[in-house]
Amino acid sequence: MIGKLFTKLTGIREAFSTVKKASPETIEDVLLQADVGVRYTSAILQKILKQKDDAQAVLKDEMIRLLSLPKPVMAGPPPHIIMVSGVNGSGKTTTAAKLANLYTQRGTVLMASGDTYRDAAYEQLGTWARRIGVEIVGSQKGQDAAAVVFDALAKATSKKIEYVIVDTAGRLHTRTDLMEELKKIMRVIVKFKDEGPDYNLLTVDSTLGQNSIQQARIFTEGIDLNGLILTKYDGTAKGGAIIPISNELRLPVLYLGIGEGVDDIVEFDPEDFVHALFE
Ligand SMILES: Nc1nc2c(ncn2[C@@H]2O[C@H](COP(=O)(O)OP(=O)(O)O)[C@@H](O)[C@H]2O)c(=O)[nH]1
Ligand SMILES: [Mg+2]
């Protein structure tokens, strides 16, 4: 994983590479420019100043600590359910495909096209499904997304498929409509699995930096999320926002999207990640 991160995260790595022998003031600039935010930057800086130790080592330790939120674990009998939600364009469908591809290494996978609002959303996911070689359950535009998810879970249960990846819509007529639809999908999932989706993930466009937190709150207040996927991490100068995003929302980062290809995803490990930044 480190190797892949290393080659893909050139932007943010360049910024952090200057930290090695830098003064606290320079480190402060680097963190603020990477969109770590005032609150976490000053907390980190206080630690650096207090310890008078190797600044880079302190910074690394602090970043690892701030990124080590407990992750959900997949439990119980299959099908294991991964649902992705988020605003339009944040990378849900691409991420659903990447996850489907990733989980084929662990078992059988079925994708559910729960975006019945956007034109051609099913076709987009279907193209990925064919490329990856996994089954897909979808419907026509305008049909009930919760019904699609129900069909997918019924199929997965009867065919003993191990992983179901649920893509969802990012935009309906209003925010309330969108949340009601997501809640309805959740009610269907709970019929199959009391605890809800094993991974209930929000996709966050990391090029927006901290600005994405406000948008994300609408989702955290509507449905019971348990993790984040930061997408477009390959193209962001604001990658430091991973710290405020995860901590303000109190959600662990499970994956990073690092490109448009189906393999461009890495499981997030705080230590690997921080070490890759400073390599
Ligand atoms: N560079 C880059 N582009 C991404 C990544 N994830 C998604 N995209 C692009 O973002 C755009 C929107 O993605 P899509 O999955 O359709 O978003 P959705 O509306 O949330 O389903 C597409 O052009 C994707 O190729 C990523 O990790 N890196
Ligand atoms: Mg989509």
**Cα 62 to ligand 1 centre (Å):** 30
At 141 the pLDDT is 79
Quick one: which ligand is closest to 122's CA? 2
**Cα 126 to ligand 2 centre (Å):** 12
Domain boundaries, the chain: 80-278
At 7 the pLDDT is 74
| Cβ count within 10 A of residue 160 | 11
Q: Is the CB of 11 under 6 A from ligand 1?
A: no
Pocket test for ligand 1, best of 215, 219, 260 (most atoms within 8 A of CB): 260
Q: Is the CB of 8 under 6 A from ligand 1?
A: no
* CATH entry, 80-278, from 3.40.630.10, 1.10.4190.10, 3.40.50.300, 3.30.70.580: 3.40.50.300
At 1 the pLDDT is 62
At 219 the pLDDT is 96
**Tokens encoding 89:** 């364009």
Each of the 279 residues of the chain gets a pLDDT tens digit; together they read 667 777 777 767 777 877 777 888 999 999 999 999 999 999 999 999 998 778 899 999 999 999 999 999 999 999 999 999 999 999 999 999 999 999 999 999 999 999 998 888 899 999 999 999 999 999 877 889 999 999 999 999 999 999 999 999 998 888 899 999 999 999 999 999 999 999 999 999 999 999 999 999 999 999 999 999 999 999 888 999 999 999 999 999 999 999 999 999 999 999 999 998 887
At 113 the pLDDT is 96
At 19 the pLDDT is 78
Q: Is the CB of 90 under 6 A from ligand 1?
A: yes
Atom 25 of ligand 1, residue of closest alpha carbon: 260
DSSP notation for the chain: -HHHHHHH-HHHHHHHHTTTT--HHHHHHHHHHTT--HHHHHHHHHHHHHH-S-HHHHHHHHHHHHH-PPPP---SSSPEEEEEE-STTSSHHHHHHHHHHHHTTTS-EEEEEE--SSTTHHHHHHHHHHHHT-EEE---TTS-HHHHHHHHHHHHHHTT-SEEEEEE-S--SSHHHHHHHHHHHHHHHHHH-TT--SEEEEEEEGGGGGGHHHHHHHHHHHS---EEEEE-GGG-S-GGGHHHHHHHHT--EEEEE-SSSTT-EEE--HHHHHHHHH-
Report how far apart, in Å, the C-alpha atoms of 10 and of each of 6, 13, 36, 137, 277 are.
7, 5, 17, 38, 9
| Dist CA 174 CA 179 (whole Å) | 9
Atom of ligand 1 nearest to the CA of 264: 27
At 212 the pLDDT is 95
At 4 the pLDDT is 75
